[in-house]
Amino acid sequence: MKSERYKVGWQKLAEIDGEQGEKVIEALKNIAPDFADMVIEFPFGDVYSRPGLDLKSREVATVAALTAMGTARPQLKVHVHGALNVGCTRQEVIEVMIQMAVYAGFPAALNGLFAAQEVFDERDAENTSE
Amino acid sequence: MKSERYKVGWQKLAEIDGEQGEKVIEALKNIAPDFADMVIEFPFGDVYSRPGLDLKSREVATVAALTAMGTARPQLKVHVHGALNVGCTRQEVIEVMIQMAVYAGFPAALNGLFAAQEVFDERDAENTSE
Amino acid sequence: MKSERYKVGWQKLAEIDGEQGEKVIEALKNIAPDFADMVIEFPFGDVYSRPGLDLKSREVATVAALTAMGTARPQLKVHVHGALNVGCTRQEVIEVMIQMAVYAGFPAALNGLFAAQEVFDERDAENTSE
Amino acid sequence: MKSERYKVGWQKLAEIDGEQGEKVIEALKNIAPDFADMVIEFPFGDVYSRPGLDLKSREVATVAALTAMGTARPQLKVHVHGALNVGCTRQEVIEVMIQMAVYAGFPAALNGLFAAQEVFDERDAENTSE
Amino acid sequence: MKSERYKVGWQKLAEIDGEQGEKVIEALKNIAPDFADMVIEFPFGDVYSRPGLDLKSREVATVAALTAMGTARPQLKVHVHGALNVGCTRQEVIEVMIQMAVYAGFPAALNGLFAAQEVFDERDAENTSE
Amino acid sequence: MKSERYKVGWQKLAEIDGEQGEKVIEALKNIAPDFADMVIEFPFGDVYSRPGLDLKSREVATVAALTAMGTARPQLKVHVHGALNVGCTRQEVIEVMIQMAVYAGFPAALNGLFAAQEVFDERDAENTSE
């Protein structure tokens, strides 16, 4: 039986990442199902569900960090979807990435923008409003 | 004579980083005065002054990125001040850092929190309201 | 009341990091007591307490990663203590760090070795056998 | 004529990385044959052949570091093969990667696990026992 | 109307990166045309056009940094082209990458060399002399 | 008896880093004397002594990489000394660091410049001409 943290986390994951997040969990089922549970429980059950910072700001923080780090392209794309799902505009996502040129260099910003372009194109192809 | 970008940048720097930012610029004057100008012109004149993302969200993005990168402690402290100066609460700064445990690991979050603690202590010593 | 994960985690933390880990938790109490709980619950309650990899190998992995990353000196020192506490020899710790020259460069290995030296000196001063 | 370090290194490379390592050396022959020699001499001739840490622990250290760094996917895959070749179980490799979520964040762990999945699939396709 | 910095930057970009750089700017036009301008104005208009360091040394510095960072493969390839365009020999590019094994580890050097190999092959296919 | 590589490396180390490099080797003698030998043999005996790239360009590459990485302040300071010892001007060192703002962000450039300032001050105090 799944824990309360899992239930809270699953709901939060669905709210933020929708279909994208579920695909990640599904992909983990084969190799590390326990870690799939942890992904739901800790980031989404424990952290994103905390009060004290609104969900839009949380996604701004994540998009900024993953763009700056430059080592997590698949997760960055999931969270560009996430940012748009919780109310960020495309322009806000672009602004965060441009700003990362200042802190992590122009290549980090460029690679972030090209990842965002792919997400925008996917959403256009699916007629998602944002 | 300073450029228009410099003037816009200097005003934005003053708004965000106050005395902290001016100290950085002052410290550069001896070794690389041209770079001091660039710091004002590009990050503050060109980027932070752009519309499309509010200043509070910009500081959330910067605090997140610098906490995740873990290589820029002095600049992180300047931007914790900055975040508080433009309207973030201490709890919001703390939430951003806790969230970075998910994306950059627990040591990054811990080192961010200890840097924030130092900023909070400095502000308490100076009786700054936030 | 603390969760079962907290209790398991606290015991595991005590086994690995002893006094060093407790100091970290104590330092967090002021700024982010919830995060202090998370540090005990997730890394120690959920991860280190898993079967499938012995504790000595877990500390080898952590010392290797923190040496390679080069952004977490305080945590590296805690885990050099930890490695020695769970049965690694000083020479094994040194070997891990030398090996990191191959994967993360000579500066990472050098900075790791100098951190280890400090830990060894602390333990010599306290007459800890390993 | 090749040096003694080269001979020792080549044997160690064969023991750890088998066919995978030889492919890397082969790929370097065209652009930087001297560096191909260095790869055999320093990491394998000088470091992996040292006493003081068993080969299984050395591979745990390497898999941990490369997973945490997140910038060396091809080399991580070679060393997942290597870890399995020198006696690690698949579960031990998975545990190392899960643990890296604590030190380098969940994306690093996820990307490591997906790389490991590819290695496991390759070995299944070739009927390698581990 | 474009700024003076833009004009200087565009000329410098053409001198260094030729067709490669123009493709990057073109790719940005759709998602972030303002950032395309910034890429021309700041790196090329403000930085590369400065006296005090010759262009060949500037490209050595960039190739070194991007190889060491390991997070910017497309930009590394653009600057391997750039280094060759401003007078570096292929062997000099290779030497820089081998040297990065010392500072950022063997995987960084290997991945840099394989990127360089791709650039050399592209230039051979186009009969570029260097 | 020391190897030929050691002798070549020691001479190259003396040429580049002078007293600074010897201090690092001395500091390693207690904890990892074998690694002290490796530092002389591989980076200095095998890499810096290669033809194909002049020593000044090699130091430009190292200063660039260490500034961009931001995790190796002591080694960066040693190589700012090294760059000046083999013929770089102070302005050339400063230019490399300013350029790193483009590739690794403004904090990396700022922290590099402040490290360079310390080196310049040390040399002024010792009346070193460059």
> What pLDDT digit, counting tens, does each position of C73-106 carry?
999 999 999 999 999 999 999 999 999 999 999 9
pLDDT digits (tens, 9 = 90+) for D76-110: 999 999 999 999 999 999 999 999 999 999 999 99
Check CB contact under 8 Å for A52 and B96: no
For chain C, the maximum distance between any two Cα atoms, rounded to a whole number of angstroms, is 47
Contact yes or no for D97 and A34 at CB 8 A: no
Question: What angle (nearest 5°) sits at the alpha carbon of residue E110, between those of residues D7 and C91?
Answer: 60
Check residue D41 and report its DSSP letter.
I
Determine, for residues C113 and F31 on separate chains, whether the beta-carbon distance falls below 8 Å.
Answer: yes
Measure in Å the smallest separation between the Cα of F126 and chain C Cα atoms.
26
- What is the rounded average pLDDT of the residues B124-129? 80
Chains contacting chain B through 3 or more C-beta pairs under 8 A: A, C, D, E, F
User: What are the distances in angstroms from CA D34 to CA D6, E35, E88, E96, E98?
Assistant: 12, 41, 20, 14, 9
What does the pLDDT look like over E57-92, one tens digit per residue?
999 999 999 999 999 999 999 999 999 999 999 999
Confidence of residue C18 (pLDDT cuts 50, 70, 90): confident
With contact defined as 3+ CB pairs under 8 Å, the chains touching C are A, B, D, E, F
Interface test with F, best of B20, B35, B69 (most F CBs within 10 A): B35
Is the sign of the CA dihedral A85, A88, A90, A94 positive or negative?
Answer: negative
Confidence of residue F111 (pLDDT cuts 50, 70, 90): very high
Q: pLDDT tens-digit profile of F22-34?
A: 888 999 999 999 9
| Amino acid (1-letter code) at residue A34 | D
* E11 alpha-carbon distance from chain centroid: 15
Q: Which two tokens stand for residue C22?
A: 């407790």
Residue F107 has pLDDT above 70, yes or no: yes
Give the count of Cβ contacts less than 8 A between chain C and F. Answer: 47
pLDDT band for E95, please (50, 70, 90 cuts).
very high
Q: D53 touching E, CB under 8 A? A: no
User: Which pLDDT band, with edges at 50, 70 and 90, does D1 fall under?
Assistant: confident
For chain C, how many residues are written?
Answer: 130
Residue A61 has pLDDT above 90, yes or no: yes
How far apart, in whole angstroms, are the C-alpha atoms of residue C89 and residue F19? 33
Given a cut of 80, whether residue B127 has pLDDT beyond it is: no
Alpha helices in chain F (DSSP H): 4-28, 33-39, 55-69, 73-85, 90-104, 106-125
Residues 6+ apart with CB under 8 A from B121: none
* Chain E CB within 8 Å of residue D71 CB: yes
Confidence of residue B74 (pLDDT cuts 50, 70, 90): very high
Following CA atoms F112, F116, F118, F120 in sequence, which dihedral angle do they give, to the nearest 10 degrees?
-170
Q: For residue C106, list chain E residues with Cβ-Cβ distance below 8 A.
A: 102-103
Q: pLDDT digits over B76-89, tens only?
A: 999 999 999 999 99
Q: What is the mean pLDDT of residues F49-77?
A: 98
**Does this complex have an ipTM over 0.90?**
yes
Q: Write the DSSP assignment of A54-83 as a string of letters.
A: -HHHHHHHHHHHHHHH-S-HHHHHHHHHHH
Q: Do D105 and B102 touch (CB under 8 A)?
A: yes
> Going by C-beta distance under 8 Å and a sequence separation of 6 or more, which residues neighbour residue F88?
F56, F59, F60
CA distance F66 to F55: 16
Tell me what pLDDT residue E68 has.
Answer: 98
Angle at F109 between CA F105 and CA F113, to 5 degrees: 170
Tens digits of per-residue pLDDT, D42-72? 999 999 999 999 999 999 999 999 999 999 9
The pLDDT > 90 percentage for chain A reads: 87
**E35–A101 CB contact, under 8 Å:** yes
Q: What's the pLDDT at D129? A: 61
Chain A CB within 8 Å of residue B74 CB: no
Residues of C in contact with F71 (CB under 8 A): 69-71, 107-108, 111
User: Considering only CB atoms, which chain B residues are within 8 Å of F103?
Assistant: none
F30–C94 C-beta distance less than 8 A: no
| pLDDT one-digit tens code per residue, B3-38 | 999 999 999 999 998 888 888 899 999 999 999 999
Averaged pLDDT of chain E: 95
Residue A91 above 70 pLDDT? yes
Alpha-carbon distance of F106 to B75, in angstroms, equals 9
Among F70, F98, F107, select the one facing B35 at the smallest CB separation. F98
pTM, full prediction: 0.97
Distance CA D91, CA C57 (A): 13
Q: Are D110 and D95 in contact (CB under 8 A)?
A: no
The rounded Cα E130 to chain-centroid distance in angstroms is: 15
Q: What pLDDT sits at residue F20?
A: 84
B116 vs C31, C66, C72: nearest CB: C31
Confidence of residue D14 (pLDDT cuts 50, 70, 90): very high
Q: Tell me how far apart the terminal alpha carbons of chain B are, to the nearest angstrom.
A: 36
Q: Do C94 and D57 touch (CB under 8 A)?
A: no
Whether pLDDT at F98 is above 90: yes
Predicted confidence at residue B128, as pLDDT, reads 63
Q: Is the pLDDT assigned to residue A17 strictly greater than 90? A: no
Q: What is the pLDDT of residue E128?
A: 63
Taking contacts as CB-CB distances below 8 angstroms, the residues of chain F near A108 are 105
User: Given a cut of 70, is residue F43 above it in pLDDT?
Assistant: yes
